[in-house]
Every structure is written in C-alpha cells, then in structure tokens.
C-alpha cells in the first residue's frame, strides 16, 4: 500500500527522539518525577514502536486481503471499508 512519503522514517525518527529524551530523564534528581517521566516515555516508546511496525507492515500489503489480515492482526474493531 502506498503511503505518504517518509511516514515510516518520520515515525522512526520520533522513536529515536524518545530514546534521547529517556536518557535525559535519567539525570533528573527528583526520584518521583524521574519515575513518572520514565513511565510516560516508555509508554510513548511502546506506542511509537507499534505504530512504526504497523506502518512497515502496511507498506508490504499488496491487496485488500493483505490489508484485512493486517487490520485483524492489530485488532481492528471496525467493519467499515474506509481507506
């Protein structure tokens, strides 16, 4: 499936940026703030990893059947035929 140019690489860039932020959080002196920010950035990284993987798999889809299988794999709850 053809997607906007650089969508995958943009998401990878965000994932790398989140890693950089994670390293900066480690030097915060306040333990509770550090723990909360670490949890939040880890959640962000997990979501970005899922999005990046989904985009990669989406780009490999060659037909509607591939797309439906991918959406089932990622837990599509919609029966619509949008997109």
Using the structure block, give the residue that is written with the tokens 């880890």.
42
SS3 49: helix
Which sign does the torsion angle of CA 65, 12, 48, 82 carry? negative
Domain boundaries, given as residue ranges, for the chain: 7-73
Cα–Cα distance between 81 and 6 in angstroms, integer? 25
pLDDT at 83: 44
pLDDT at 6: 87
pLDDT one-digit tens code per residue, 48-67: 999 999 999 998 999 999 99
Q: What are the Cα distances from residue 25, in Å, to 39, 49, 73?
A: 10, 19, 34
pLDDT at 81 over 70: no
């Amino acid at each position: 499936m053809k997607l906007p140019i650089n969508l995958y690489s943009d998401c990878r860039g965000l994932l790398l940026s989140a890693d950089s932020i994670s390293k900066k959080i480690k030097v915060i002196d306040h333990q509770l703030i550090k723990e909360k920010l670490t949890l939040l950035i880890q959640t962000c990284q997990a979501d970005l990893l899922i999005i990046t993987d989904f985009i990669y798999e989406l780009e490999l889809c060659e037909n509607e059947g591939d797309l439906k299988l991918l959406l089932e794999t990622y837990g599509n709850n919609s029966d619509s035929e949008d997109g």
